[in-house]
Amino acid sequence: MSSHFTSFAVAGGTGQIGKNIAASLLSHGLRVVVLTRSSSSKVAEGAEARVVASYDDVDTLAKALQGVEVVINALGQESLAGESGSNLARAAKKAGAELVLANHWGVDLEAIKKGSTGVHPFLLGKLAFPSFVNELGLAYLQIHIGLLTSVFPLLTSVDSEKKTATIVGPGDTKFTITSEEDVGRFVGDAFAKLPKKDLLNQTLGVSGRVATLNELLAGYSITHVDPKEALEQSRDVAGLGVKSFFTWLLLIIHTGESLIKPDNTSVGFVSKDTAVHL
Ligand SMILES: NC(=O)c1ccc[n+]([C@@H]2O[C@H](COP(=O)([O-])OP(=O)(O)OC[C@H]3O[C@@H](n4cnc5c(N)ncnc54)[C@H](OP(=O)(O)O)[C@@H]3O)[C@@H](O)[C@H]2O)c1
């Protein structure tokens, strides 16, 4: 038995994070299956596309996962509301996989749970996922990335013509911001370089760039939302929906809870993509 994982399925391997993971694994000479709901989806060259109608049926998913050791969940945000992630993990077990890389791609929720901000309700499934996977008899891996670079302009309501933006607090707290490409390269490097024993039931952190909001928004006229008001907004899920989640993201940047402890060095990863475009 090899000491390293060699065969992977990337669910959502056509998306922003997933396509970069697939490309990076392939660049290391690893075998990649991409699960997609559409036969017309473009997958990374060298990957095998397997079409699944949906993530509702565990048996169908298990067939699509045959021969795979690691199942990577890079499904889009909307999938978090349903059973897609749990079904994928159940199917991974059925297909004989060993490890599920969780649809986490965020911040240290265990630490935030213990702090005063608390975990946003949209992310409670992510918090519970590692134990769920262990209960199935599988190992989990999750990756902390901080904020994804592409989300930054939307999150801060950037108007690049008027040069305005909105943030929570004074904007001088350091946080981690990582691009999709760097996330993909980090995952590829981790699987290529680390033995199985260092990946099973682990949390790894990748850091593309550490910055403050003031640094990234230099030259912009900034509206500062009061953190107390932001905390109330972040808890008003029924009234504000996605806005409550975005406010929560800005709040954890303000509190410093979006600063990731990086494993770049132990994984042998060097960030190459640190630009933030407004
Ligand atoms: N830390 C951050 O700032 C941050 C930012 C953005 C996202 N994220 C996390 O990263 C994850 C991946 O995000 P992403 O932006 O890479 O995803 P994405 O590009 O929006 O979607 C990835 C793929 O998932 C599939 N998909 C989309 N919606 C689905 C659904 N409802 N059910 C099943 N499959 C669906 C699609 O593939 P097919 O159509 O080919 O099936 C899509 O190409 C998210 O779930 C989120 O948790 C974190």
pLDDT at residue 106, rounded to an integer: 97
Residue 250, pLDDT > 90, answer: yes
Does residue 103 have its Cβ closer than 6 Å to ligand 1?
yes
pLDDT at residue 270, rounded to an integer: 96
The DSSP bridge pattern shows strands 139-144 and 175-178 to be unpaired
Residue range 9-48, pLDDT digits in tens: 999 999 999 999 999 999 999 999 999 999 888 899 999 9
Which residue has a Cα nearest atom 4 of ligand 1? 148
Which residue has a Cα nearest atom 42 of ligand 1? 15
pLDDT at residue 2, rounded to an integer: 85
Does residue 85 have its Cβ closer than 6 Å to ligand 1?
no
Query: How big is the CA angle at 148 (ends 135 and 219), to the nearest 5 degrees?
Result: 155
Does residue 16 have its Cβ closer than 6 Å to ligand 1?
yes
How many CB atoms sit inside 10 A of residue 131's CB? 10
Q: Percent of the chain having pLDDT more than 90?
A: 95
Structure tokens at 251: 């709040």
Residue 143, pLDDT > 90, answer: yes
Does residue 12 have its Cβ closer than 6 Å to ligand 1?
yes
What spacing in Å lies between the alpha carbon of 218 and ligand 1's midpoint? Answer: 30
Structure tokens at 41: 């989806």
What spacing in Å lies between the alpha carbon of 12 and ligand 1's midpoint? Answer: 6
Residue type, 216: L
Render the burial of 80-102: b for 16+ CB within 10 Å, e for the rest. beeebbbbbbbbbbbbebbbbbb
**Contact between residue 141 and residue 102 where contact means Cβ atoms under 8 Å apart:** yes
Does residue 105 have its Cβ closer than 6 Å to ligand 1?
yes
Does residue 148 have its Cβ closer than 6 Å to ligand 1?
yes
Read off the pLDDT of each residue in 129-133 and give the average, rounded to a whole number: 97
Residue range 100-119, pLDDT digits in tens: 999 999 999 999 999 999 99
Please tell me the distance from the alpha carbon of residue 68 to that of residue 194, in angstroms, as a whole number.
Answer: 18
**What is the pTM (predicted TM-score) of this model?**
0.97
pLDDT at residue 277, rounded to an integer: 86
What spacing in Å lies between the alpha carbon of 250 and ligand 1's midpoint? Answer: 20
pLDDT at residue 273, rounded to an integer: 78
Q: Where does the pLDDT of residue 177 fall: very low under 50, low under 70, confident under 90, or very high at 90 and above?
A: very high
pLDDT at residue 185, rounded to an integer: 98
Residue 1, pLDDT > 90, answer: no
Does residue 184 have its Cβ closer than 6 Å to ligand 1?
no
